[in-house]
Every structure is written in C-alpha cells, then in structure tokens.
Structure 1
C-alpha cells in the first residue's frame, strides 16, 4: 500500500506527528482511566460521578479518533496499541478495587490537570509547523479544561 503523502515538510511532520502521538496516548489512557473509575465507584455521590465519568470517556474516545485521523492525514501512523499506551502513559494509575467518589473526583481532577498541561505544550509546539493540528488540539484542550473545571467544582 502506498504511504499517505504529507502536506507538511518533513520537519513539520515530525513535530506535529510527535504532538499527535502524545495526545493519542493521553486520550486513550484517559478513556481507560475514567472507565476504570466508573466501574469501581462507590459513595454518596455515586450516580452523579458515575455519569460524569462516562462524559470523560466519550470526550476522550471522540478526541482520540480525531487525533488519530489527523495523524494519518499528515502521513503519520498513529499507534494506539495497548503496549504503546502502557509504556508511554504519564497518568498515574488508579489503585485496584473500589474507589470512593471523593477519591475518584480528586484523581480525575489531577489527571485532567496533567493532561491539559501537556496539551497546552502541544498547542504551542504546533503553532508554526501545522496550525490545522494546533486548531484541533486547541478544541480538545478547551473540552478537557471544561471537564477539569466541572470535576474540580465537585471537590
């Protein structure tokens, strides 16, 4: 099969591809992280937090698809394999077992803050090499920041 020809220069493709791959790792792991909390949640605010965690999962899954498709559009192969995500994630993993709602809210708030910081770095890194990717990352960052605010307000 023929490779997809990139509309970007080789150096711009490299910077942009690295930003997109990092975003993909964060988003795939975020969806798994939120689902793990969702499945093991307990506590007085169970229903509200349980449903809110699914919002995070939905956001992360849609965004990871957008990021991966953007990577292919610029001629970069996205890598969302389980081993890649496990090896490259920077999100501290949740403890195994039941998770009290207040601990889940705090953990998700912290994870979102870390991911947002990395997304902001990717937004800055893609300013010159690919403003189209930068626009995609800005939109995802805005959605992540909204969810961060909503989780932070619950603590």
Structure 2
C-alpha cells in the first residue's frame, strides 16, 4: 500500500511531535530541580524512552507506506506543535505541568489524525492506539507527582 498525501502529512505531524517530546523530556531531565527531583528525573527518562520508541515505529511505518519521514532539526523546529520549553532550571512543579502538557499535546496530534488513518489504513491505527495508551498513562503518572490526597 502507498499512503495518500493526507496520511503522509498526518504521520509526519505525529513523528515531529514525538521527536520534540523526546527532546523536551531530556531537556527537563537535565534541568529539573526541587522536591521529588529524583522520582521525576527518572520518570522523564520513561517519557523519553516512550517517545523514542514510538518515533522509530512511526518512521518505519511511514517507510513501509512509501513515505519519507523528515526528522531533521529544521523540520522539528518549524513544524512541531508542542509549546517551546523554558530556558534554564525548572522546578519539579513546573516540570510536571510542562511534561503533562507536552504529553497531552502529542496525544492530541495522534487523535487528530486517527479517524482519517482508520479510514485509509486500519493497520496503522494499531500503532496510534499504542502511542495514545502509553502517553496517556505517562501523563497520569507524571501528573500524580503534584496531587495531594484528601484522606485524613
């Protein structure tokens, strides 16, 4: 099967957001400071590992569909939909908020192409489902770092 232009553009959008998610995860990993630093530092490695895994899966699926993935830095900086992270050190609280936002934005990109992909290439939706499931789980786990219990 050869991907349509719409499918190719959609998968490219997912690819660049996954690459950016991995880059932002590492940036935060290196610069996070504050309470629960170590736990969050390690969680960020999980986010990066997931982003890298899914990046490779999507890029290889693109090639299987006769699409050339573009992971060049210039392409990432021009087309990624994630907000730019702050410069310098960031607190654990800020890191949680920024990481959850980046995860949720990446999931939104995936969900944004889901119906069109399902119509054209249902096999690829299996890959999209795996991305959604893992990134949503990571968003929940990272967000839990800030939650307070209301139990006595």
Q: Fold conserved (TM > 0.5)? A: yes
Q: Which runs of 5+ in 2 are unaligned?
A: 147-152
Contact 2:96 2:143 in 1 (8 A): yes
State the partner residue of 1:101: 92
Query: Take 2:13 and 2:86, find their aligned partners in 1: how far apart are those partners?
Result: 24
Matched, 1:18 2:34: no
The CA distance in 2 between the partners of 1:132 and 1:113, in whole Å, is 23
Which structure 1 residue ranges, 4+ long, deviate > 6 Å from structure 2? none
Aligned length: 146
Answer yes or no: is 1:117 the counterpart of 2:140: no
Partner of 1:153: 144
Give the equivalent residue in structure 1 for 2:72.
81
Measured after TM superposition, the shift of residue 15 of structure 1 is: 2.2
Match of 2:135 in 1: 144
- When the two chains are superposed, the root-mean-square deviation of aligned CA atoms in Å is 1.0
Return the offset for 1:142.
Answer: 0.8
Determine the structure 1 residue equivalent to 2:34. 43
In the superposition, the TM-score normalised over structure 2's length comes to 0.92
Instruction: Confirm or deny that 1:131 pairs with 2:122.
Output: yes
TM-score scaled by structure 1?
Answer: 0.90
Q: Take 2:5 and 2:141, find their aligned partners in 1: how far apart are those partners?
A: 34
Q: Which structure 1 segments of 5+ residues have no match?
A: 1-6
